[in-house]
Amino acid sequence: MAITFELYTGDSSGVPSPSQKPNTAYLKANNWDDYGFKTLFALVVFDSSGVRHDVGSIKIGCKEHKAGWISKLIDSRFKSLDEHFFSLGQDEEYYSNIQSLDPELRKNLLSSLRDIVSDENIYSIAIEEDVFKTSLLREVSLTSVSGQFKRILQGGSIRTEFHFKYEIPQGKRVAGLALEFHVDPESNPPSNVHVLIGRNGVGKTHLLNNMVKALVADDESAKKVGFFSIPLDDDGIPYSLESTEQLFSGVVSVAFSAFDPFEPYPEKKDKSQGVRYSYIGLKRSTNRGGERGTPMSRDMLTNEFVKSIVSSISKGNFERWLEAIKSLESDSLFRDLALSREFVEYTGDELEAFAKRTFNRMSSGHAIVLLTITKLVEKVEEKTLVLLDEPEAHLHPPLLSAFVRALSDLLSHRNGVAIVATHSPVILQEVPRECVYKMSRSGLKAKPERPLIETFGENVGVLTREIFGLEVSNSGYHKLIEKELEKSKSYKRILREFDGQLGSEAKGILRSLILAMKNEINE
């Protein structure tokens, strides 16, 4: 049903009671002056049941409007602003209140008020006008218009800055460790995926499991595995005023390694009992149907997927799931499965049957990434921390890159953050240097360092040398080249020994080693 708008100049007590004016919206003009422009209104809406909704502050502009009251250009009673007008809510609360309304009412309001966030054509008109630049954008950034506000109208969360620290205190048998994580919601590239990278055995998996325990364990053991805190800035002031308990609403750990020695921590679903915890992986997280910590069968994993996709649909998360799948389809092999196209054709029992058939015909790698992203869409909510252990174990590089992008997009939408433990430089290509810790170990002491080079979009070979250094040069093809150098110092002769089958990087290394040897002789 169409809604009627009325300009209102009296005080709020004069607004008619809900029983008198259902399907009516009131725009109360404000005397606020933006360098000669007076465009500010308070929007109050009564829905079809007569329930009052105080939506918030809105500014309305008009093409070629030079100065003065915009209300003088608007009819005192109207169904929709004409094509010369445009409007913009003034904060996140306005769009959150709009989003909470009945879908039909929400659509009607945005359309009738010619909201620029919901209509790019109207935005392209407004952006050229002085009143838009001077007044409507005085307290609002274009970044908020295209990012935060749009995301709220699409059902996403308000994104906030994360700044937290994980510390392990120094002990007799344990070396101290401190890792700091910062997420800027508007950074580009995104900073919501952080990476711990290093060779096998440095303790990355152990670290992730301790993080889970530090957040969700309710016994004394939690204090022994480290703690999360709010770091201080250069002036000794906390980056956030919220308590440590408010840092995260939930934790999701993802681990699909068959060799992971750690037993999943029992899931915590009751939000009133503190941080909620969920597990996604190969092992049973409960004693239902078998002992907790034992591997699940393929049939059990299939059922997990079917239940999760049905849950996402029932909770209204199907569009979010489709967006994640489309991100994964940047990998050609995953795109050939046509999931984003085929799943929309089924509902109810047919959907469950199709989901089961689809999952069962997939390779193990594709099945695991599909189950993981589906469960993440189901489980990740506002301020969730996702901990992933070696996702590269089942994924080829293009799909791994696509998965990291899909994860980052999902976390942006839900205002979350992920920490990934890996030894794959492919993942480093997807995150900036400031989101990476190189992990090394000497005896009991773990040493976290930032890479010396920028990692986002860098060559995999360069990243491999940066992270693993001498370990690379003492293994693989490096060792074969050095063996030949012991027999001959001739570049052409060694090339013939390999039948010309040396790549450009191997040739470069061979030339460098020959030059280094000549320099040593000359010295």
At residue 294, the pLDDT reads 83
At residue 12, the pLDDT reads 47
At residue 495, the pLDDT reads 87
At residue 315, the pLDDT reads 72
At residue 156, the pLDDT reads 80
Whether residue 407 sits in one domain with residue 502: no
At residue 423, the pLDDT reads 86
What CATH number should be reported for the domain holding residue 241?
3.40.50.300
Whether residue 181 sits in one domain with residue 103: no
Q: How does 346-375 read in b/e, with b if 16+ C-beta sit within 10 Å? A: eeeeebeebbbebbeebeebbbbbbbbbbb
Residues forming a β-bridge with 278: 252
Whether residue 493 sits in one domain with residue 465: no
Residues forming a β-bridge with 422: 197
For residue range 480-504, what is the model confidence (pLDDT) as tens digits? Answer: 888 888 888 788 888 888 888 888 6
Q: Which long-range CB contacts under 8 A does 479-488 form with residues at least 24 apart?
A: 481/506, 481/509, 481/510, 481/513, 482/513, 485/510, 485/513, 485/514, 485/517
Whether residue 301 sits in one domain with residue 210: yes
The DSSP 8-state label assigned to residue 184 in this structure reads: -
Whether residue 204 sits in one domain with residue 85: no
Whether residue 196 sits in one domain with residue 140: no
**In the predicted structure, residue 470 carries a pLDDT above the cut 80:** no
Whether residue 149 sits in one domain with residue 194: no
Q: Which domain holds residue 504?
A: 475-522
* Band (475; pLDDT cuts 50, 70, 90): low
**In the predicted structure, residue 241 carries a pLDDT above the cut 60:** no
Of 42 and 239, more confident: 42
Whether residue 424 sits in one domain with residue 382: yes
In this prediction, residues 445-462 reach a mean pLDDT of: 89
In this prediction, residues 54-73 reach a mean pLDDT of: 94
In this prediction, residues 370-388 reach a mean pLDDT of: 93
At residue 219, the pLDDT reads 63
At residue 485, the pLDDT reads 84
Q: What's the mean per-residue pLDDT of the chain?
A: 86
In this prediction, residues 172-198 reach a mean pLDDT of: 89
At residue 392, the pLDDT reads 87
Contact 386, 411 (CB under 8 A): yes
Which among 134, 142, 193 is positioned nearest to 416, based on CA atoms? 193
Which among 257, 255, 263, 303 is positioned nearest to 281, based on CA atoms? 255
* Band (435; pLDDT cuts 50, 70, 90): very high
Please state which of the ranges 241-250, 335-344, 446-455 shows the lowest mean pLDDT: 241-250
Of 136 and 508, more confident: 136
Residues forming a β-bridge with 58: 41, 89
Q: How do beta strands 77-78 and 4-8 pair?
A: antiparallel
What is the residue whose two structure tokens read 């089958």? Answer: 501
CA pair distance 425, 392, nearest whole angstrom: 10
At 454, list the tokens. Answer: 């920028």
Whether residue 166 sits in one domain with residue 149: no
* Band (430; pLDDT cuts 50, 70, 90): very high
Please state which of the ranges 43-47, 188-192, 270-274, 422-426 shows the lowest mean pLDDT: 270-274
**Which helix or strand (DSSP H or E) is residue 150 part of?**
helix 150-153
**In the predicted structure, residue 438 carries a pLDDT above the cut 60:** yes
At residue 266, the pLDDT reads 79
Whether residue 106 sits in one domain with residue 187: no
Contact 433, 455 (CB under 8 A): yes
Whether residue 119 sits in one domain with residue 62: yes
Q: Which residues touch 152 (CB under 8 Å, ≥6 apart)?
A: 92, 95, 96, 99, 158
In this prediction, residues 265-289 reach a mean pLDDT of: 78
Strands of 227-229's sheet, edge to edge? Answer: 177-183, 162-168, 227-229
**In the predicted structure, residue 19 carries a pLDDT above the cut 50:** no
Q: How many domains does the structure of the chain reveal?
A: 3
Q: Identity (one letter) of the amino acid at 445?
A: K
Contact 367, 339 (CB under 8 A): no
* Band (520; pLDDT cuts 50, 70, 90): low
Whether residue 302 sits in one domain with residue 357: yes
Residues forming a β-bridge with 8: 28
Contact 248, 384 (CB under 8 A): yes
**In the predicted structure, residue 462 carries a pLDDT above the cut 90:** no
Contact 260, 389 (CB under 8 A): yes
For residue range 126-177, what is the model confidence (pLDDT) as tens digits? Answer: 999 999 999 999 888 887 888 889 989 988 877 888 999 999 887 776 677 8
Could you give the 3-state DSSP secondary structure of residue 73?
A: helix
**In the predicted structure, residue 411 carries a pLDDT above the cut 90:** yes
Which value, to the nearest 10 degrees, does the dihedral of the CA atoms of residues 380, 230, 267, 427 take? 50
Please state which of the ranges 81-90, 221-230, 290-299 shows the lowest mean pLDDT: 221-230
**In the predicted structure, residue 451 carries a pLDDT above the cut 50:** yes
Of 279 and 510, more confident: 279
Of 257 and 298, more confident: 298
Q: How do beta strands 52-62 and 276-281 pair?
A: unpaired
At residue 461, the pLDDT reads 81
* Band (235; pLDDT cuts 50, 70, 90): low
Of 92 and 433, more confident: 433
Q: Identity (one letter) of the amino acid at 513?
A: L
CA pair distance 442, 438, nearest whole angstrom: 13
Confirm whether pTM is higher than 0.75. Answer: no
